[in-house]
């Protein structure tokens, strides 16, 4: 639905001017979709488990006009991102091997086209702007997909609920090769100002989580970029969890071909997360498993393993850390529920308890899931020494951001200490510091608004 637009007039004015300069007409409407920070629950959405993110004030914003040119024309305010155009009558092709900004945009367009079976899309001219740092683990790419999905729906005079849009955008981002679980698109559409959300999957739903008074969340970028679609780290983890799922199912007499997510094994066995963690200790050895060992244990051929278990960009993998990955997932799923329960019950020491859960999450991401990097570990360490009660990587990892929970009265001294220890000594980081270190409040979700 059209909303009062949540933007500083300056941003909108700049975008409108850029649009008029580019296309010689005014935009018809605008859409925006926020980035997000995941407070806890890393790498478990694609395993079927709930996560606990909040939207951030930084977002992707697009100005759009609809026409009968038979073309979709895309331009970006940032000159490093090149223009692109595609004919409305041809099949939209997305190159997985070259994740350019406009391919993310086209994922959203294609998702809506396929949902409604639109043979020929409306002609559109778009200019995109964004305040989410790219490849920082704050979901700039998913926000772009969501923004594009929303504007394509509007331009083609269709309508969908926010939940349906989130599900379509989660599915269509896979066109670019990222096997995500749906957290980023869900929070981008379902976020509400002032509250974090517990996002549950199958069926998708979002529940308010009231964060405690007396603490704020500070985001800090380690300034090492990580593009999920361009590297196979992320999809290797998805595959390792899939293999672990099939091995646990096999061990407990379930049909491995019927399950692909670790949460499904728990559901089928009607077990608690504690029981699943005990099963991980019992079933898996800590050493990596080879392809041969997995095929033998599951009684499948190497060909079947390649086609039914591995994904396109993980075909070369030979070793899989099933013990470490599954232990992280079940442990992290339990931490999400503990985090929500602390927020709901508001104990006196809520801030300390939540901080402890964040710290345990980082250790698990670093040591069991191995999705951190030296820069992030250094930054988390500095944040804890600078007064954070909890600090952890957020987003896929291997670069990007940390999120820290900081007592409100310590914020200024915290920001100064982190600036002095992490950003100022390094000229490259110092140049990026303004957009790399900031307090974040829970922001609202994606919106559509008409030209004033």
Catalytic positions: 184
| CA–CA separation, 351 and 355 (whole Å) | 6
Task: Write phi, then psi, for 30 (nearest 5 degrees).
Answer: -125, 150
Neighbours of 319 (CB within 10 A): 12
Give buried/exposed letters for 80-117 (b at 16+ CB in 10 A, else e). Answer: ebeebebebeeebebeeeebebbbbbbbbbbbbbebee
| CA–CA separation, 180 and 374 (whole Å) | 24
Closest by CA position to 214, among listed 346, 376, 313, 401:
346
Residues in a beta bridge with 31: 62, 448
Task: Write phi, then psi, for 206 (nearest 5 degrees).
Answer: -125, 130
Give buried/exposed letters for 254-274 (b at 16+ CB in 10 A, else e). Answer: bebeebbbbbbbbeebebebe
| CA–CA separation, 362 and 377 (whole Å) | 9
**273 token code pair:** 């997360």
């Amino acid at each position: 639905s059209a909303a009062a637009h949540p933007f500083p007039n300056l941003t909108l004015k700049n975008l409108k001017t850029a649009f008029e300069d580019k296309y010689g007409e005014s935009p018809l409407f605008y859409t925006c979709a926020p980035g997000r920070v995941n407070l806890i629950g890393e790498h478990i959405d694609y395993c079927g488990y709930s996560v606990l993110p909040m939207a951030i004030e930084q977002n992707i914003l697009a100005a759009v006009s609809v026409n009968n040119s038979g073309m979709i024309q895309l331009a970006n305010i940032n000159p490093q991102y090149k223009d692109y155009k595609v004919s409305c009558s041809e099949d939209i092709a997305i190159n997985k091997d070259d994740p350019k900004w406009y391919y993310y945009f086209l994922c959203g367009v294609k998702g809506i086209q396929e949902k409604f079976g639109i043979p020929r899309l409306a002609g559109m001219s778009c200019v995109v702007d964004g305040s989410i740092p790219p490849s920082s683990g704050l979901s700039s790419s998913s926000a772009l997909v969501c923004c594009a999905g929303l504007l394509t729906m509007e331009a083609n005079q269709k309508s969908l609920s926010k939940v349906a849009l989130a599900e379509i955008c989660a599915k269509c981002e896979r066109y670019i090769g990222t096997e995500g679980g749906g957290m980023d698109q869900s929070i981008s559409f379902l976020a509400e100002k002032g509250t974090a959300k517990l996002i549950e999957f199958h069926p998708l739903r979002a529940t308010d989580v009231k964060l405690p008074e007396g603490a704020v969340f500070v985001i800090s970028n380690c300034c090492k970029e990580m593009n999920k679609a361009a590297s196979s780290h992320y999809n290797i983890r998805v595959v390792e969890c899939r293999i672990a799922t099939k091995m646990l199912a096999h061990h407990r007499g379930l049909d491995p071909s019927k399950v692909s997510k670790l949460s499904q094994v728990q559901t089928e066995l009607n077990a608690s997360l504690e029981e699943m963690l005990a099963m991980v200790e019992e079933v898996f050895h800590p050493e990596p498993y080879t392809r041969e060992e997995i095929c033998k244990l599951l009684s499948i051929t190497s060909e079947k393993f390649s086609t039914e278990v591995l994904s396109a960009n993980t075909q070369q993998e030979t070793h899989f850390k099933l013990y470490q990955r599954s232990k992280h997932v079940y442990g992290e799923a339990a931490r999400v529920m503990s985090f929500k329960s602390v927020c709901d019950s508001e104990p006196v020491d809520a801030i300390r308890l939540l901080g402890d859960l964040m710290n345990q999450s980082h250790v698990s991401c670093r040591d069991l899931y191995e999705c951190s990097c030296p820069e992030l570990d250094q930054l988390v360490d500095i944040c804890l020494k600078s007064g954070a009660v909890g600090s952890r990587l957020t987003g896929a990892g291997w670069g990007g951001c940390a999120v820290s929970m900081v007592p409100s009265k310590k914020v200024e001294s915290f920001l100064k200490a982190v600036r002095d220890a992490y950003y100022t000594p390094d000229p490259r980081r110092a140049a990026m510091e303004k957009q790399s270190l900031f307090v974040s409040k829970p922001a609202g979700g994606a919106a559509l608004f008409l030209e004033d």
